[in-house]
Structure 1
């Protein structure tokens, strides 16, 4: 058994090195990584010891344990186990190697005790996860992965800059409460905000996640954003601005998810929506709210992963997940259909399913703090979640009209992974104390009181009624074969067009300089005195065009 002081990420890195040697049925040995690491974590209960490096005056702590990091450590081991089972049939070893490195980086980040160590794993998360998008090997996936890497590296630059500035101010790299005070803290805040999917910083997620491999999207949904939530809860709890950012995150994705045709992109928008609940809870900052935020992060990894797995199974068997071209799949994929319905019930916060026991904690914390307007926004968002993830995903994929498609049921290993996630969704919903006892902050809470339960049942009932009525009246947005852009329009449409225009400007400017230079050279060669009037006129006109081009170029740069 590993010693308590050995950083847990080492287990994943060792198995990532062994993965290329394991062929065929031997790939099942990869499951030992999360099983062995998780068992060791459970038996030691994160007993400290710790591993530190001394670099000059700086002390780097590779292994720091408390109840918050331990909760996320358990979560990431469970997520890695489910993802590895789900990917056993994949012959592309690159995906399994990168998946293990990615999971190990996430584990390393949540057990890091200082900001510089966090930065190292932050960048490893970016690099290893990008390969899970590139592995799709389509032109769209490659372009999306390239954009993804740029945004992730930008987040890392902000994190490193904030870390250096904070170290200069305090002389410490310790990972602890920072709060929004000074430029360094704002740099750290925006670094986390990018990976949390704050509004206008979120497009990397909806752009790249739907284009990854079926296995890749499952890994992506589990780790990057949840590491950011963990760090946000540790560094910025109780910051009021997070309440309003989180409320906006819960609401705006609904409108895009409802009209989106690609069902994996619907789930990507839904992921931002669920992150909004977590961010809002962190902003409230009470024990109940923080427990609700991290409990919802725990549940979201499982039920959102379950929904991504069901759509990944459809993608594997059908070749696409466009809602307009699916339907009737329940006839030949009945078990995948059932698993999808469990995931839909969980994300919609049905009583006796996992989403209910964590989302209600955040809602209750808002009422305790008299945040009535924000509570109403989250109530609206909850109804929207039921529409686009609870109803739309299973309805258009497995029911709706009969598309005539008759694919085989998902591979056995995929079914096992989906079954494990479904069991966890129901088990946590039926007995939430299994999760509550792991929560970091001391607070008593019972989700199944009469008020919470009746309110949620009424909300779900009227949301379902609205969907049926809108669908019968032909008013519900149809599934159209189109691509919807939100803020990503800036880099998918505006920048390419503007870039072409600027390139034309620069080329024209270069040509003007060349022509002026040639004219001046000819003038001196002729040594004609006085200079012919025609030459002066030509030179003056060309210099005027050069000046105008320079002004336009400066204006264009200011606009960008």
Structure 2
């Protein structure tokens, strides 16, 4: 039982409760101290530690500490500390509670040794992360948050159905490597949804840009990476994941190049980078699993730094579109410099973390003989440097007006101050990205298996440098074509955001059509029109919500669809499965 007290999720969850009851100043201390306590507990937790028990007559393993879980646990604790520091001046006590609950639940996911504990932590993670989207309380955060919730509710039901079916077939709830079966395919689909595998990915670029600036940093660290952990734990060696990951890497890059909003751009690129991890998990060798884990670790650091950089711009200017920015380089030099550390890291520059982690993942594909996958992943890395390392900083800080003036005098928009806590968080992340790049052993010693790969060979350094140089030259020659444009790119979310509305709009004229009537009654609305307006009025009065707040549950057709689908799914399982 003493080992259970070393569970690294406990300090994060306890801090979440404390932030609700303590004064705001004390809450700021707690949000920074709790991740440090979790790191200390991780250092004291011996590999092989297991805490088992019984819950609802099921044998559960609430804590299983091995090298794979420990690697993800360390970066999850670091991410909580950095993101918490970043949000010291912007997050409310409720948002801190949501963020720490989210981080604690993600930590519980990676240390769960059975599927029941895994499912409970998975659902808590989904609900807590929803509140991070809703906490912004402005713009489209309400609707985006509800869409995010409904998508992950669907994923949770797929996971539950798969777990119950797996239990009925095997009699075991152990969370270990799965053999292909209909039950495990359902579990795989649930993990694929949280990993943002296309076409199940649209929730990510829809919701992440609508969260608060600190909330987006938290979101980037946990949902997709917890899914990568689950894939590595249960589905290593499933070859279909190799090509799914390659498609992710290319898909995310293409949409990122087209994007104008800085956080949506980085959101799409999360999909691309997770593709490297998914492909490595599909290969399933020790080298490839090390590559997936290392890339997840480094990605949390540099993607968090990138989102903190653009978040500082949004905080200072109130603008998030590149077409509305530019000309602020001299007014935000420290933010630009720190952002560029993240940009060169994600672009795999030698001496930075991305080079150390991404090359390990790609080497896993090369060693396993998947040459086509290696080529396509290298192509995706070209797009990474193109949009994250070149297009975004140019459009955000420089723009068509050049470096810009040193003051706000005569400028179309004001650039406000950036809180010192944001600089501290970005500096810590930048230092870690550089430290891992200079000394790869800091990262490799945390991997699930022993790493003997030497990333700093002359051939690798020259090859990567040539790719980066070619990309920089091509972007300079095509600068006019690659610049940011005010446009909307259609994606898979069109099917649940726009298509139902188009279908209703197309059908309404037929519902309201009737024979013409002479006299004053000819101007009266059709019966269907009256019903539509009456329903809207009833929902508006029942909700009584301020503008921009989440819509009422009764007003969302998607919730009804999810409930109906879940009911049909559970009914079918109840007929064919006995637990």
1:188 partnered with 2:187: yes
Q: Matches of 1:132 and 1:235 in 2, distance apart?
A: 28
Stretches of structure 2 that go unaligned for 5 or more consecutive residues are 405-410, 515-526, 528-579
Separation of aligned partners in 2, 1:112 and 1:504: 54
1:95 aligns with 95
Answer yes or no: is the 8 Å Cα contact 1:331–1:406 preserved in 2: no
Cα distance between partner residues in 2 of 1:269 and 1:91: 25
Q: Could you tell me which residue of structure 1 aligns to residue 491 of structure 2?
A: 486
Work out the CA distance in 2 between the residues paired with 1:475 and 1:218: 30
Matched ranges for 1:41-440 at <5 A: 41-46=42-47, 48-56=49-57, 58-90=58-90, 92-179=92-179, 181-402=180-401, 404=411, 405-440=413-448
Cα contact 1:34–1:80 (8 A) shared by 2: yes
TM-score (norm 2): 0.84
Q: CA deviation at 1:139?
A: 4.5
Q: Is the 8 A contact 1:307 1:344 kept in 2?
A: yes
Post-superposition CA distance 1:168-222 (Å, at most 9, x none): 011000000003x221011011100001111110000011111111011001000
Deviation at 1:372, TM superposition (A): 1.7
Structure 1: tracts of 5 or more residues without a match: 510-514, 516-560
Residue in 2 that maps onto 1:442: 450
Asked which structure has the greater RCO (Cα within 8 Å, sep 6+), the reply is 2
CA 1:496–1:30 in structure 2 vs 1: closer, same or farther (change >3 Å)?
Answer: same
Once residues 510 and 451 of structure 2 are traced to their aligned partners in structure 1, the CA distance between those partners, rounded to angstroms, is 63
Aligned partner of residue 37 in structure 1, secondary structure: helix
Could you tell me whether the CA contact under 8 Å between 1:352 and 1:430 is conserved in 2? yes
Indicate if the aligned counterparts of 1:334 and 1:409 stay in contact, CA closer than 8 A. no
Given that 2:238 and 2:284 are in contact with CA atoms closer than 8 Å, whether structure 1 keeps it comes out as yes
Relative to 1, partners in 2 of residues 1:51 and 1:417: Cα closer, same or farther, differing over 3 Å?
A: farther
The 2-side partners of 1:53 and 1:10 are apart by 19
Q: Name 1:475's counterpart in structure 2.
A: 481
Partner-residue secondary structure (3-state), 1:439: coil
2: CA distance between counterparts of 1:224 and 1:504? 43
What is the Cα-based RMSD across aligned positions, in Å? 2.0
Contact 1:237/1:284 (CA < 8 Å) preserved in 2?
yes
Per-residue CA deviation, residues 102-160 of structure 1 (Å, 9 max, x unaligned), is 00000011011111111111111111001111111125111111111111001000000
- Taking structure 1 as reference, are residues 46 and 187 closer, same or farther at Cα in structure 2, changes over 3 Å only? same
Tell me the alpha carbon deviations over residues 46-98 of structure 1, each in whole angstroms, 9 at most, x when there is no partner.
56141423422x11111111100011111110000001101111252111010
Question: Does structure 2 conserve the Cα–Cα contact (< 8 Å) formed by 1:52 and 1:60?
Answer: yes
Q: What SS does the aligned partner of 1:59 have?
A: strand
Cα 1:89–1:239 shift into 2, 3 Å: same
Residue-by-residue CA offset, 1:376-401 (whole Å, 9 max, x unaligned):
11111000000011112222111223
Please give the alpha-carbon distance, in whole angstroms, between the structure 2 residues aligned to 1:427 and 1:506.
65
Map of 2:501 onto structure 1:
496
**Counterpart in the other structure of 2:39:** 38
TM-score by length of 1: 0.87
Query: Is the 2:50–2:61 contact (alpha carbons within 8 Å) kept by the matching residues of 1?
Result: no
| 1:231-266 Cα deviation digits (max 9, x unpaired) | 000100011101100000000122211121101000
